[in-house]
Amino acid sequence: MTKKITQDAQRLLSHARDKTQRLVGKIFLLLALLLFPCWSNAAEDAPFFTKKILPVLVQHCYECHSAEADEVRGNLRVDTRQGLRSGGDNGPAVVPGEPEESFLLSAIKYQEDDYQMPPNGKLSDEIIAAFEKWIKAGAPDPRKPKAAKRSDVTP
């Protein structure tokens, strides 16, 4: 009799354990499914900029639009995130999410008579499409702005 009760209790216990394990498994799966999109976006954004956008800026624009230029043309700097966002004499060069309002895009598409960039020859359609895609996606730019330090201020 006691044996039977113990057996029953054991069966019940193991059944409960199976159920809990399955539930925990389900919760994990759900969490993974929920988190996957955020995680995959974060993982994708930075490489897109570093692989497709930054090398073009360095190769085709730095000469005239960075700290490397003897004179920064049009007051536009492309070597910092802030430089791209605030733009030059004509206002913002990159407006995240708004390709139509991004002066940089119309300049590289040669849509502006006086601003055809880079001046020595249009970039390939593939590169231009990459810039458009990047701006549409919110222009993720992992370059960190440098925070001001106390020592930057002269008393």
CB of 155 to ligand HEC, least distance (A): 36
Q: Are 50 and 134 in contact (CB under 8 A)?
A: no
Residue 49 near ligand HEC by CB under 6 A: no
Task: Pick the piece of the chain touching ligand HEC (CB under 6 A) from 11-19, 34-42, 110-118, 133-141.
Answer: 110-118
Binding test (CB under 6 A) with ligand HEC, winner from 58, 80, 118, 137:
118
Beta bridge partners of 88: 91
Structure-block tokens of residue 76: 């536009």
Binding test (CB under 6 A) with ligand HEC, winner from 80, 86, 90, 122:
90
Task: Name the residue among 142, 123, 126 with its Cα closest to residue 104.
Answer: 123
Residue with tokens 């995130």: 81
CB of 34 to ligand HEC, least distance (A): 38
Task: Pick the piece of the chain touching ligand HEC (CB under 6 A) from 41-49, 103-111, 134-142, 144-152.
Answer: 103-111
- The residues, any chain, with a CB within 8 Å of residue 118's CB and separated by 6 or more, are 60, 61, 64, 108
Closer residue to ligand HEC, CB minimum distance, 63 or 101: 63
Whole-angstrom CA distances from 38 to 32, 43, 73 are 10, 9, 38
Residue with tokens 């394990």: 21
Omega of the bond prior to 118 within 30 degrees of 0, cis? Answer: yes
Closer residue to ligand HEC, CB minimum distance, 25 or 97: 97
**Which backbone phi and psi does 103 adopt, to 5 degrees?**
-60, -35
Residue 135 near ligand HEC by CB under 6 A: no
Residue 74 near ligand HEC by CB under 6 A: yes
Q: Which spans of this chain sit near ligand HEC (rule: CB under 6 A)?
A: 60-61, 63-65, 73-74, 76, 78, 87-90, 93, 103-104, 107-108, 114-115, 117-119
